[in-house]
Copies of this chain bind each other. A is one copy, B any other.
């Protein structure tokens, strides 16, 4: 198939490459002419504007937008939508808030344009491993795009089949690494929860390794300390333990390089999806203490002292005359 790829960053560029490896044609555009040139060298058809992409795609046009969520994605999809014709398809492969998908799909449907949201996991490893995709949109359009998703997905690979899985009852594509999750928005909703879980898993490992490391702290009495080798612990847990995972594999890689992780300060960013997951939990009245604590740990990692800490100090001084601890 022929597809216009808008946004050639780390994710978009690799998605284009993986599509071309599978024999698809890519018309590539990015604000950065350099990025366009780089991808053209890898076989893409270079475009110099959205209009240029449209001209090169012909009709019906298939667009894959791979831009930062929020403003950049919104403006680009508005622009593409403005010039789109009946039967065109716009895919948003970024990290868009799912309620924006629902709104856009409705607006575009009025002029016969199909909107598909694709939650894409895989990070910088996707070019090689394939991308796990959670897709929202109408059935016909998602089916029509199957060759695209099939090319991007990891496929069966070496991952063992799930025993007891009855293929007829379920979406067979799941075993190849992509699913049609539901109508517009459902793809990004599932991806959002995926990221919420990701925060929780990461924080669970983070706290565990913190306790392991602090067991050698000189704040403990000398006979209560262990001097544990975190590099080996991460490695051994990859083998036959209940907590083996890909995130643990990555941790093992990092700890193999530097068992103290001294190259990292520990100021941790969070994207919108962690926050939206908590919003969804609250809308549904689902208790989500772990996912929330994981998000808050990131906020906390980025401030030296919260104002809340100072309120505590002030109260303690008020009732007990306590002066603050030296840090």
B196 touches A315 (CB 8 A): no
B206 touches A268 (CB 8 A): no
Cα A225 to Cα B172 in complex, Å, equals 24
> Min CB distance, A25 to chain B, in Å?
24
- Known A239-B130, A312-B203, A315-B202; judge A226-B182 contact (CB<8 A): yes
Contacting B at CB under 8 A, from A306-320, are: 306-320
Cα A164 to Cα B258 in complex, Å, equals 10
A-B pairs with beta carbons under 8 Å apart, 29 shown: A121-B240, A134-B236, A158-B158, A163-B253, A174-B239, A177-B239, A181-B232, A189-B226, A196-B208, A198-B242, A200-B200, A202-B312, A210-B286, A210-B308, A211-B286, A243-B246, A246-B319, A250-B319, A254-B315, A264-B310, A266-B307, A266-B308, A267-B327, A268-B325, A269-B316, A278-B292, A290-B293, A297-B312, A300-B300
Cα A66 to Cα B186 in complex, Å, equals 39
Cα A309 to Cα B89 in complex, Å, equals 40
Q: Report if A233 contacts B (CB, 8 A).
A: yes
Residue interface bits A227-251, CB-to-B below 8 A is 1, else 0: 1110111011111111111111111
Residue interface bits A252-267, CB-to-B below 8 A is 1, else 0: 1111110001001111
A298 touches B315 (CB 8 A): no
Closest to A324 in B: B267
Chain B residues within 8 Å of A219, by CB: 284-285
Chain B residues within 8 Å of A124, by CB: 319-321
A310 touches B211 (CB 8 A): no
B153 touches A291 (CB 8 A): no
**Neighbour of A190 across the interface among B233, B238, B267, CB < 8 A:** B233
**Residue in A126, A190, A311 with the greatest tally of chain B CB atoms within 10 Å:** A311
Contacting B at CB under 8 A, from A281-299, are: 281-299
A206 touches B123 (CB 8 A): no
- Known A207-B200, A296-B287; judge A243-B316 contact (CB<8 A): no
Cα A266 to Cα B229 in complex, Å, equals 33
Chain B residues within 8 Å of A170, by CB: 229, 231-232, 235, 256
